[in-house]
Amino acid sequence: MNIQKVFVVGAGQMGSGIAQVAAATGYSVKLNDLHDDLVNKGLKVIEKNLDRNLSKGRISEEEKQKIFSRLQKSTSLKDAHDADIVIEAAVENITIKTGIFKELDHICPTQTILATNTSSLPITEIAAATQRPDKVVGMHFMNPVPVIKLVEIIRGLATSSDTFNIVKEMSEQMGKIPVEVNDAPGFVSNRVLCPMINEAIYTVYEGIATPEAVDQVMKLGMNHPMGPLELADLIGLDTVLYIMEILHQGFGDSKYRPCPLLRKYVAAGWLGRKSGKGFYNYS
């Protein structure tokens, strides 16, 4: 299958990043969200990223214009009627995602691949909402999408080898390094990362060290480019809590129990960078 037309559902941070990289690769891209202002916001983020690349000499003005010419706006899932692949990057909620996939299954041609950028939800369950589970796959990009090379490609129970190979080849064409992962809560990235972040939060909760000290230990001692609590604030504490709850529910193991301090911060609206306050103050 020759991928040419890409439909991205969700124009937020992840969706706009995926759309940017796909358009820069040469694909024709439709960027979809519920309202026009959300799509425009996503396009402004892409323009800002491209302007940064332009100022640093990574692309020319002509290349920037070519990338933008490959991007179209969409506020209806029906616009996916001619897509070769759909990459869904909507809110991390199983009910919403299965609803989107069920609708796309009716709209898209039978050969269209339906991929989800979920960071923790079961691919098999999402695929079961469609009549094409063999063509449903996880395509988990990392944030920020234009920068981070990794893409976890997650096979659901019924994902075919053809689907996997097409998505792997597409990822490589987008300049990414695909890694094959089987369907399990949190996959590899978040199954390893989020418990580490949760444990870092426990050390603050138990009064062992300040957030600054915890982050310094991990950056200076373990050579991490970013401390776990800085990273938690970047990801969003609500997202970290949600993933920990998925892990706890999926494995039934107490080692995945979210730290009470994480729950308290989320309840207070201290979500990290996006709210102006988390383990650090950004206001």
Is residue 254 annotated as involved in ligand binding?
Answer: no
The residue annotated as part of the active site, out of 28, 88, 140, 171, is 140
The residue annotated as part of the active site, out of 152, 198, 230, 275, is 152
Is residue 275 annotated as involved in ligand binding?
Answer: no
Torsion of CA 22, 24, 25, 29, to 10 degrees: 40
Is residue 274 annotated as involved in ligand binding?
Answer: yes
Residue 1 burial class via C-beta count within 10 angstroms: exposed 0-12, middle 13-18, buried 19 and up: middle
Asked whether the beta carbons of 88 and 108 are under 8 A apart, the reply is no
Asked whether the beta carbons of 44 and 196 are under 8 A apart, the reply is no
Task: Clarify whether 190 is annotated catalytic.
Answer: yes
Is residue 11 annotated as involved in ligand binding?
Answer: yes
The residue annotated as part of the active site, out of 117, 190, 198, 275, is 190
Query: Coil, strand, or helix at residue 76?
Result: coil
The residue annotated as part of the active site, out of 119, 171, 198, 275, is 119
Is residue 97 annotated as involved in ligand binding?
Answer: yes
Task: Clarify whether 119 is annotated catalytic.
Answer: yes
Is residue 55 annotated as involved in ligand binding?
Answer: no
Q: Tokens at residue 103, please?
A: 């609708």
- Give every CB contact of residue 71 below 8 A, 6+ residues apart in sequence: 19, 23, 29, 30, 31, 43, 46
Is residue 13 annotated as involved in ligand binding?
Answer: yes
Is residue 12 annotated as involved in ligand binding?
Answer: yes
Task: Clarify whether 224 is annotated catalytic.
Answer: no
d(CA 232, CA 194): 9
d(CA 43, CA 47): 6
Is residue 142 annotated as involved in ligand binding?
Answer: no
282, amino acid identity? Y
Is residue 92 annotated as involved in ligand binding?
Answer: yes
Task: Clarify whether 35 is annotated catalytic.
Answer: no
List the binding residues for NAD(+).
Answer: 10-15, 33, 92, 97, 119, 143, 274
Which residues belong to the annotated binding site?
10-15, 33, 92, 97, 119, 143, 274
Q: What is the set of active-site residues?
A: 119, 140, 152, 190
